[in-house]
Amino acid sequence: MVVVTELSASRIPVGVTGAGEWVYLAREGGWSSLTHSSPVFLVTALQHGAAFHSDLQERLVAVGLTPSLADTFPVDSSIRLGLTWPTEFWQQAALDWLEREGRAEAFLPELEALVHTGGTQQIRHTARRLVWAARQQARE
Q: Are strands 2-7 and 31-33 parallel, antiparallel or unpaired?
A: unpaired
Q: How many domains does the chain have?
A: 2
For residue 55, the number of C-alpha atoms closer than 13 Å in the C-beta half-sphere is 11
For the stretch 3-44, pLDDT in tens is 999 999 999 999 999 999 999 999 888 999 998 888 999 999
Q: In what order do the strands lie in the sheet with 22-25?
A: 2-7, 12-16, 22-25, 31-33
Q: Could you give the residue ranges of the DSSP H alpha helices within the chain?
A: 51-62, 75-84, 88-101, 108-117, 121-139
Instruction: Specify whether the CB–CB gap between 97 and 128 falls below 8 A.
Output: no
In a domain, 67, yes or no: yes
The answer to pTM > 0.95 is no
Residues 100 and 65 in one domain: no
In a domain, 78, yes or no: no
For the stretch 64-96, pLDDT in tens is 999 999 999 999 999 999 999 999 999 999 999
In a domain, 119, yes or no: yes
In a domain, 122, yes or no: yes
pLDDT at 109: 97
Whether pLDDT at 140 is above 90? no
Whether pLDDT at 138 is above 90? no
3-state secondary structure of 110: helix
pLDDT at 1: 86
Residues 68 and 93 in one domain: no
In a domain, 79, yes or no: no
Residues 50 and 91 in one domain: no
The domain in which residue 14 lies consists of 1-73
- How many other CB atoms are found less than 10 A from the CB of residue 93? 23
pLDDT at 17: 95
In a domain, 21, yes or no: yes
Residues 65 and 132 in one domain: no
Q: What is the mean pLDDT of residues 35-64?
A: 93
In a domain, 80, yes or no: no
For the stretch 104-134, pLDDT in tens is 999 999 999 999 999 999 999 999 999 999 9
Residues 69 and 6 in one domain: yes
